[in-house]
Amino acid sequence: MPVNIPETDQKRVVIVGAGFAGLKLARKLYKKGFQIVLVDRNNYHQFQPLFYQVATSGLEPSSISFPLRKVFQKIKNVYVRIAEVERILPEKKMIETSLGTMWYDYLVIATGADTNFFGNQGFQNYSIPMKSVSEALYLRNRILLNFEKAVTLRDREELRQLLSVLVVGGGPTGVEVCGALAEMKKFILPKDYPDLDFSLMEITLIEAGPHLLSGMSRQASDKAKKYLEELGIKVLLAHMVTSYDGKTVTLKNHDPIQTKTLIWAAGIQGQMPEGISSEKMERGNRIKVNRFNQVDGMDRIFALGDIAYMETPNYSKGHPQVAQVALQQAKILAENLTREQNSKPWMEFEYKDKGSMATVGRNRAVVDLPFIRFSGSLAWLTWMFVHLMSIVGVKNRLLIFINWLWKYFTFDQSLRLILKASGDKVQPNQAPPAKQEDQCKT
């Protein structure tokens, strides 16, 4: 059954995924004479880089989310449809969704990435990823419930297991969540739970590689490690976790670690609906595309962002899966589709690296720009400004700024709420819930 979308003489661009790439493309194309259909399983855009602040009670989910229909409120040729894409039918130029079928002139896959557990069932069952708002909220609930249970216990070893947190993955997400947890331990939690001994709360970061922040400079990596250790975090480099049963983490060449909270920030893989053959897929479940972001052998199907794998002379193993790649690919695809309407040749994509940054906490951050590298308070302010300006919606920016300002001057935040759906019973060693409907897309 066809999805109800008005028929026009405009070329129809169906965009699957309203993350960084999908939203950017829709906003670039709607004035260019196309009919835009934006398909997502959520009715809102999520700002993934700040999920960790939701998980550590720094921000509310509404601050980093923005309703899609509000973005396109006064635009007549953009249609938002909330649906799951089940299958792509390239030969018919159609997609099958949970609402019905939908035809397209151009199909853009921007479904982003999900957590990659590398086939390890124990990590999948018991660790907590942060690829959606629901997972970030679940982690917040888990941490707070652990403390609520801890005040009822006396056994010090049991308390240590309950209070300790282990983070797997030394990328920006792992580094940032460790820094936020360390600041909670230092400034906030002792005031909420004065009867607990916080020397039992151990925060450990494990990275399989030899350095943190592998996509950044060695200078940034070393500085981030120093900042983390100053905050009391144990950093284990060149160590690989092998199993987890909800209580014990097993590592190669290291003693087991006891914890009931393991945060998984170690890997991602593309989210791909059926209909693209496995021959067109690369490592990490990414779709192979050419320099125009066209899927190999399919001139009317494109892939953007984390789901796309493009080899160029400067990036022979594909581009980094970061927001800037997604945004730049969306921009040039919008230009190319417009050029096609005007019978002009297309332009090849070339990624312009604008730099990388990560924060470790209050006045602690690292920034790598093409022309300069720096750290400390200035880097922290730079990180805050860039992320604030990247948020969709003036109101959201204002709310986040007020929260950050309040936290800076009071060393506190008032968002430590345990929010659960009716009937949801989150236990300290319980596996995370089944995948929710708000998986992040880029």
Q: Write out pLDDT tens, residues 257-309.
A: 999 999 999 888 888 888 888 888 888 889 999 999 999 888 899 999 999 99
pLDDT over 80 (residue 434) = no
pLDDT over 50 (residue 436) = no
Mean pLDDT comparison of 1-10, 159-168, 399-408, highest-scoring range: 159-168
Q: What confidence score (pLDDT) does residue 344 get?
A: 94
Count Cβ neighbours within 10 Å for each residue of 4-20 and write b for 16 or more, e otherwise. eeeeeeebbbbbbbbbb
Other CB atoms within 10 A of residue 301 CB: 24
Q: What confidence score (pLDDT) does residue 430 get?
A: 56
Other CB atoms within 10 A of residue 130 CB: 22
Q: What confidence score (pLDDT) does residue 435 get?
A: 46
Look at residues 326, 383, 336, 325 and name the one whose alpha carbon lies nearest to residue 357. Answer: 383
Q: What is the mean pLDDT of the chain?
A: 90
Quote the CA–CA distance of 363 and 348 in Å, as a whole number.
Answer: 40
Mean pLDDT comparison of 131-135, 313-317, 326-330, 411-415, highest-scoring range: 326-330
**Average pLDDT over every residue of 213-226:** 94
| Bridge partner list, 44 | 67
Domains, the chain, ordered by start? 11-41+83-115+268-341 (3.50.50.60), 121-265+362-410 (3.50.50.100)
Q: What confidence score (pLDDT) does residue 265 get?
A: 92
Quote the CA–CA distance of 96 and 432 in Å, as a whole number.
Answer: 29
Q: What confidence score (pLDDT) does residue 138 get?
A: 92
pLDDT over 70 (residue 392) = yes
Q: What confidence score (pLDDT) does residue 429 get?
A: 56
Residues annotated as catalytic are 176
**Average pLDDT over every residue of 360-381:** 95
pLDDT band at 442 (very low <50, low <70, confident <90, very high): very low
Q: What confidence score (pLDDT) does residue 177 get?
A: 95
**Average pLDDT over every residue of 189-205:** 93
Q: What confidence score (pLDDT) does residue 439 get?
A: 40
pLDDT over 90 (residue 53) = yes
Q: What confidence score (pLDDT) does residue 427 get?
A: 55
Q: What confidence score (pLDDT) does residue 417 get?
A: 82
Sequence-distant (6+) residues with CB within 8 A of 211 are 170, 218, 221, 222, 237
pLDDT over 80 (residue 423) = no
